[in-house]
Structure 1
Amino acid sequence: MAIAKAERLMNLALCLLGTGRALTKRELRTSIEAYLEVGSDDAFNRMFERDKDDLRELGMVIETVENLDGDVGYVARRDRNQLPPVTLDAEEAAALGLAAKVWQQARLAGAASGALQKLRAAGMPLEEDREAYSALEPRVPAGEAAFEPLMIACRDRRPVSFDYRKSNAARPGTRHVEPWALECWRGHWYLAGFDRDRGAVRVFRLSRIVGRVRSRSGTFTAEVPGQVAVRESVARWAGEHATGQARILLRAGAGYPLRARATVVSERDGGWDELEIPYGHGLGAWLAEFGPDVIVLEPAELRADVVDRLRAVAKG
């Protein structure tokens, strides 16, 4: 729905900008395919008024012309809808180039590439400082199918629902969420938002979303905070804010993220290594993801937590 609306707004803007005279609503309706698909005149009028208001809110100057053969017309004059000249210094151009190179998946890759091409065509020196950042190859993977619909839902403040499988659950459960923000942390994407069923803020890992994300009607019921600390919440639940040390056995050659967290690593017989890692809330869920490659030695409550999670998955 959000993509269809964006396309409709773009077509309306092009119509208003692409003619030297004002166009009536009747002319616009016959020129834009999405309007032709609207059944009744009342539904079209409501849609057109919303679209016109949205374009104006985005900064487009739309003039109303009275007494146009008895009808009201609309026009967006090019001289009133032009951006001032864009100038970038070498550092700004380099930063923009890096930002565009980050996105390698999802539809943002094409948008970023197109934006750079337009700036180059306008004479922006995007390649002048290439040597300063050519050695850097940033990547932000966005391969999860849930990424794009959730990104749009966050932007449009639209509630969603999806099936979500927790690390200790054999089957997914449906979540009804007011999405706030997306953030990538340690190679995984997370969504922060208000879980309506639980009446509390929750963070969801996109790779655990099963099936498609379904958009829902209505408005948010919880206030969106000015700053959503996704990374801090995930770090806290993953044991980043540790309260102690845990000892685990890790199969040799496996679990590199755990090795990066370890404060002590020592070899053991039988193809195992012993690690000491910071222990905090949520560590059990993370360790369970490594399955048979991890054995928890201590503390006892962590070992019991991981065993319970693995047994719950096995029952499914």
Structure 2
Amino acid sequence: MSDARARLLSLLSLLQTPRLWPGSELAQRLGVSGRTVRRDIDRLRELGYPVHAEQGGLGGYRLTAGAAMPPLLLQDDEAVAVAIGLRTAAAQPVAGVDEATVRAMGKLLQVLPARLRRRVDTLASSTVAHPFSLAAELVDPDALVVAATAIANHERLRFRHRDEGRHVEPRALVTAGRRWYLLAFDLDRDDWRTFRLDRVTGLAPTGARAAPREVPGGDVAAFVAGRAMQMAPAYPADVVIHAPAALVADRLGGPPPGTLTDQPDGTCRWLAPPDTVEWHALRLASIGLPFEVSGPAQLVDYLRSTAALFHAATAGPARRGARETGRGA
């Protein structure tokens, strides 16, 4: 890179990734000599960035936390606000929070001085989730940072999943609904596996590097979705809804998957593609219109049992007492 300022920013961006960078690798990434890298490192130090150097064959450069915030163009209160926002977002398994949030949080927390890190931890520990929050199964943000860093560095991980030890080569973090998943190649089972991060404990990098593996099919999101479908039984559904197709599509926020066709009697028929009975039921309930299920039988049984639960929940104390008295007699 001929522009020295652009090269310096690129070097800083690399160093903000929490790992040890060998000088030869930095030189290769930047397309310059080792001498130029050393000169640029000295320039960053002059600007206030605490770049630590480790000597030896396994040595390299690492950006560390200093006694004060390095010149990141952030005031202390702004840095704390950003860190809290990123940490809160990463801890909530909500769709739309992607891996970029975790990487940004890792870079910021790496260079925060101890006094500011204490403020972040204090605010985070004093914040309590609403008891009725739908995101009940929270993921440890530190686990997300460790996983994201290992993915970026092509580094193997060890952890426990459902009290069973795992040794993997991580490939990607995937959000689905309100959950975080780690897609990795399981070395002990010689196959790809998907792990829910809220069920993972003791996540730790091993220091061992691995060559990048390509997911079968090349599409990470599609692969994880396919594995999820394999784990849960899926069925196509045949439903008659007592309303025009246009009204049904409007209630669903757009045309649903499968085919939705109007019938001569003013109803419409929905032939839905294979999915779980829970998801079929959720879609049908969200429409708020009368309907009849022609199949599958599993969906009919699920709706019947769910309806019984809802009916019992709204029966009231008097009717529940009457039922209990009848059983006692």
Structure holding more helix per residue: 2
TM-score, normalising length: structure 1: 0.39
TM-score, normalising length: structure 2: 0.38
